[in-house]
Amino acid sequence: MISTTFSQHLDFIKSLYKDKSFIALHEPSFWGNEREYLVDCIDSTFVSSIGEYVDKFERSISQFTGATYSIAIVNGTSALHLALEIAGVKSDDEVITQALTFVGTCNAISYCGASPVFIDISPKTLGMSADSLEKYLAENTIIQDGECINKNTGSRIAAVMPMHTFGHPVEIDRILAISESYGIVVIEDAAEALGSFYKGKHVGTYGKVGILSFNGNKIITTGGGGMIITNDSEIAEKAKHLSTTAKIDHQFLFNHDAIGYNYRLPNINAALGCAQMENLDVYLDQHRQMSEIYKDYFKDTNIDYIDQPIDSESNHWLNAILLNNEKDRDAFLKEANKSNIMLRPPWTLMHNLEMYKHCSHDSLENAINLSKRILNIPSSCRETEV
Ligand SMILES: *Cc1c(COP(=O)(O)O)cnc(C)c1O
């Protein structure tokens, strides 16, 4: 019985992507000037860390998101690492994030010598729950010399880092207000959320600093790439400086005034990014359409479609559905794989990973319940060209 229903769902997904023998979860689309810009970049010989495409790509991200400053970085994880370091996260600090996220979020915290603390998600946004954050801070911390200290560990809580899951905005205004009342900075992992707005403002621009990712599976891609976005000139300056080996500007001398990183996005990747940005509105349109199609379809089934939360306009990067229980979820997964349709369960919760098992967390009730029942479904653009 159940398996017939699942195969009907799979037939429906197949009908959306007619010409494909294998339906991926999310494929990139190259419809515009990608080839032209790449060739131009190669012809110019400026394929590496300096070039016009990097500046142009940064300007287009600033223009689209409304962030005053955008600094192009080699990938999203490195962007997170640098953002955390510049925001003042140090060795032995703690950073509050959510249990349901991509491991890169937590790894970036670890690169700073800090530890993640895992907070539950909201069933409405699948991102950090503002209520859980408020409760955790109230029950577990004290303010000492103006710093927020975790009573259980004695460590300073240096930052709160919510992640906008699958492109759906978290309740960022509440998270910001709660964090600020404890004197904690907010860094937004908006890796998945280019094109997502909360109360009319682009996500990633609420906190002190935010990051985007342009990995191959994201809504636009530069092959690999990321961006730090901020309205703070000092943070922007530091990000540019530290991402370029902290080299002091000089015509010919190589002098460096800090331990910097080689984190700058190469011009050849930025060339791809410039072309992708020219079609971002088309991609967003297609993702919105896909969301409507799925929402409409699953309405008449016993599977819930997870829609964008209130007060927000999601980029609908990766569509997600909610099954009744883990058994159904896994049965559906199995059947899909047999049919060459890629469905995917969400990431293993971070507190279950070997390297993060020792980290503090709250009850994680929603994260544990929902992560067993969520499935991501194919979300690539359906058109093959524009
Ligand atoms: C993609 C992603 C990143 C960073 O990805 P990179 O592959 O390093 O660009 C970070 N956090 C989340 C939640 C992501 O989905």
Ordered DSSP codes for 308-332: PPTTEE----SEEEE-SSHHHHHHH
162 touches ligand 1 (CB under 6 Å): no
- Residue 186 and residue 160 in contact, taking contact as beta carbons nearer than 8 Å: yes
| Model pLDDT for residues 357-382, shown as the tens digit of each residue | 999 999 999 999 999 999 999 999 98
Strand-by-strand arrangement of the 94-98 sheet: 69-73, 226-230, 209-213, 185-189, 157-160, 94-98, 115-119
Neighbouring C-beta atoms of residue 229, cutoff 10 Å: 31
189 touches ligand 1 (CB under 6 Å): yes
* Mean pLDDT to the nearest integer, 240-252: 96
User: Residues with Cβ < 8 Å from 330, sequence gap 6 or more?
Assistant: none
pLDDT at 1 over 80: no
120 touches ligand 1 (CB under 6 Å): no
380 touches ligand 1 (CB under 6 Å): no
Q: How confident is the model at residue 13 (pLDDT cuts 50, 70, 90)?
A: very high
Question: For residue 8, with 0-12 CB atoms within 10 Å meaning exposed, 13-18 middle and 19 or more buried, which class applies?
Answer: exposed
* Mean pLDDT to the nearest integer, 41-66: 96
Neighbouring C-beta atoms of residue 232, cutoff 10 Å: 16
Site to probe by mutation for ligand 1, drawn from 213, 261, 347 as the one with most ligand atoms within 8 Å of Cβ, is: 213
pLDDT at 382: 86
* Residue count (the chain): 386
Q: What angle (nearest 5°) sits at the alpha carbon of residue 201, between those of residues 322 and 191?
A: 55
* Mean pLDDT to the nearest integer, 4-33: 93
Q: What is the pTM assigned to this prediction?
A: 0.97
* Mean pLDDT to the nearest integer, 343-365: 98
51 touches ligand 1 (CB under 6 Å): no
Question: For residue 43, with 0-12 CB atoms within 10 Å meaning exposed, 13-18 middle and 19 or more buried, which class applies?
Answer: exposed
Rounded to the nearest 5°, which phi and psi values hold at 139? Answer: -90, -25
- Dihedral sign for Cα 94, 73, 317, 335, please: negative
Q: Please name the residue that has the structure tokens 């994030």.
A: 97
pLDDT at 385: 63
Query: Which segments of 172-216 does DSSP mark as H helices, in order?
Result: 172-181
* Mean pLDDT to the nearest integer, 278-307: 96
Q: How confident is the model at residue 103 (pLDDT cuts 50, 70, 90)?
A: very high
98 touches ligand 1 (CB under 6 Å): no
| Model pLDDT for residues 175-231, shown as the tens digit of each residue | 999 999 999 999 999 999 999 999 999 999 999 999 999 999 999 999 999 999 999
User: Residues with Cβ < 8 Å from 138, sequence gap 6 or more?
Assistant: none
| Model pLDDT for residues 116-128, shown as the tens digit of each residue | 999 999 999 999 9
pLDDT at 209: 98
DSSP for 237-304? HHHHHHHBTTBPP-SS---BSS---B-BPPHHHHHHHHHHHHTHHHHHHHHHHHHHHHHHHHTTSSSE
Judging by DSSP bridges, how do beta strands 94-98 and 157-160 pair with one another?
Answer: parallel
pLDDT at 20: 87
Q: How confident is the model at residue 8 (pLDDT cuts 50, 70, 90)?
A: very high
Query: What is the four-CA torsion angle of 77, 232, 239, 75, rounded to 10 degrees?
Result: 30
Q: How confident is the model at residue 384 (pLDDT cuts 50, 70, 90)?
A: low
Q: How confident is the model at residue 252 (pLDDT cuts 50, 70, 90)?
A: very high
* 170: its two tokens: 């978290």
pLDDT at 50: 86
Q: How confident is the model at residue 82 (pLDDT cuts 50, 70, 90)?
A: very high
Minimal-distance CA residue to ligand 1 atom 6: 76
* 234: its two tokens: 């000092």
pLDDT at 118: 98
Taking the alpha carbons at both ends of the chain, their separation in whole angstroms is 41
pLDDT at 304: 97
The H or E element containing residue 143 is: strand 141-144
Closest atom of ligand 1 to CA, residue 78:
8
